[in-house]
Amino acid sequence: MMNKLMLPDYQIRQRDFLLEISRAITAQLDLSEVLKRVLHASIIMLAGRSGLIALRADDTIFYVRAIINIPTELVPKLNEHLYELSLTLAQKNTIENFNQHLRSISTAIDDNLQQAVAMPLIFAGEPLGMMIVFRSYQSEASPNDMQILQSFADQAAIAVHNAQLYERIETERRKLAAILEYGADGMMILEPDLTIARFNRALERMTAWRADEAIGLSQDEVIQWEKREGMDIQTALDNGWANQHAQGDESPLYLEGELRRKDGLTVSVGITYAPLINADGKLTNIIAHIRDITNFKRAQEMQNTFISVVSHELKTPVAIIKGYAATLSRPDAQWDKKTIRDNLGVIEEEADRLNGLIQNLLTASKLQAQGQLSLTKTEVWLDELATVAVERFTSQTTKHKFKLKFQSPYPTIHADETRLRQVIDNLLSNAVKYSPEGGVIEVGGYATPTTATFYVRDSGVGLSEEDQQRIFDRFYRVDSKLSSKTQGSGLGLYLSKAIVSAHGGTIEVKSAPSRGSTFFVHLPRS
């Protein structure tokens, strides 16, 4: 009480005002609000007319972050002056240079301003920024005034530091929240008892559960497995998985399988669990990252099927070639010319088949590596190419009848003849394979002023809607009993589409189960 009574009234009011403002600004974490309160209090304490606060950025330059009684349109000009002021401080120039910059800033705001009082905002020895109060008169501040102002500036620096720290944390929090909510993969946050605390939109799409339905439920009520590989999270927790993490073993828990959705459908997913451990080594939450691996599983199955099919496709012609060659080379047999010619014909035919498969594999590999095919273009007569191909296939089947139906005259196109022959052969081969009962295979074409089209139509087993969507995928083979009986690597239509696309054209199919298929190839004429 004695100390307070000994102080003049204005100093008591000054001290109480400083205490009140210091409490207010240190309790506030919003940076804009902190800066506004600091600046407002400073202008009152210095009896100023206007003021600004400039904060130091990562490039060590000061930029205006708060203003009072200063027109907003002046901020770019003030930033230019602050840039020069920042260089002056960095070069440790004289006080006179510093004051000269302050006068320039005052003049830029208002010619009637007579004095600028600058106070640094420093926290832990690091400059955070500066506060400048402008007055319309000249006045010398007493040592006591400067001491109080410096105390206020120190409190303000603490408040600014806390607010900046909170702003950075809040920015990171919003980033993480956005990643969690809008990421392509499913994300789920679990409580230690495996109750769902957070459930993002991707996981809603994946599981058919809405977030408001899933939050609060046990994980096992939402994540229900048709088939699973790997240890489930509850068993892992019972076996001390979280404790092992707390002790430094940060191996994640991964399991995958067929997840049963709320609507009864299934989806292939892989889930990675990671525990959050606090400073006391206690489990606070579990982060679950869920990825839809349906396409990966499908591609894996297709590749396994492809490897199996290709192995068979390679073995068959090799075995036939070896068998016929061994027969012809038997020392105890005398073969007539016709038998030798026929056997050599089979060997040549199987060698061509083997070569074709190898060429397809090499082309597919090159296409995968380079993303496109190189073409050698010349004038091509598609109707003649088709005629030659039909003659070749006619000699290979007795069940099928071939019909040519090209518009006359049919135009020539500028294209790679070898590649287009490969497309025609692939389409004819499929038409024969997938018409086991025989029937008519029609090959025709028509043209517009800009496009030349040819098609191959069969009356075979046809394709489902799902097969039509995937028939041009690499390694894909139609899933039917007929497929297991027919030769093929799942590359023919994939390569055909790549060849047609390289020409700037398109390939499409129109089909229905048991009603045959028609493949259309549209190529530019120019």
| Coil, helix or strand at residue 56 | strand
- Each residue of 272-297: pLDDT tens digit? 998 988 888 888 999 899 988 887 77
What does the pLDDT read at residue 8?
Answer: 55
Rg of the chain (C-alpha set): 40
Give dist(CA 505, CA 453) in Å, integer.
10
pLDDT band at 68 (very low <50, low <70, confident <90, very high): very high
H/E run at residue 70: none
CB hemisphere CA count around 308 (13 angstroms)? 9
- Beta-bridge mates of residue 298: none
Has residue 252 got a pLDDT over 50? yes
- Each residue of 1-10: pLDDT tens digit? 334 444 456 5
Give dist(CA 424, CA 382) in Å, integer.
9
H/E run at residue 30: none
| Of 262 and 342, more confident | 262
What does the pLDDT read at residue 4?
Answer: 43
What does the pLDDT read at residue 294?
Answer: 81
pTM for this predicted structure: 0.46
Query: Which of 29-38, 301-310, 324-333, 376-385 has the highest mean predicted lDDT (pLDDT)?
Result: 376-385
Give dist(CA 388, CA 368) in Å, integer.
30
- Each residue of 456-486: pLDDT tens digit? 999 888 888 888 888 888 767 675 554 545 5
Domains in the chain, CATH or no CATH each:
2-174 (3.30.450.40), 184-292 (3.30.450.20), 297-370 (1.10.287.130), 378-524 (3.30.565.10)
| Coil, helix or strand at residue 6 | helix
CB 39 within 8 A of CB 172: no
Give dist(CA 141, CA 99) in Å, integer.
16
CB 189 within 8 A of CB 285: yes
Give dist(CA 229, CA 208) in Å, integer.
22
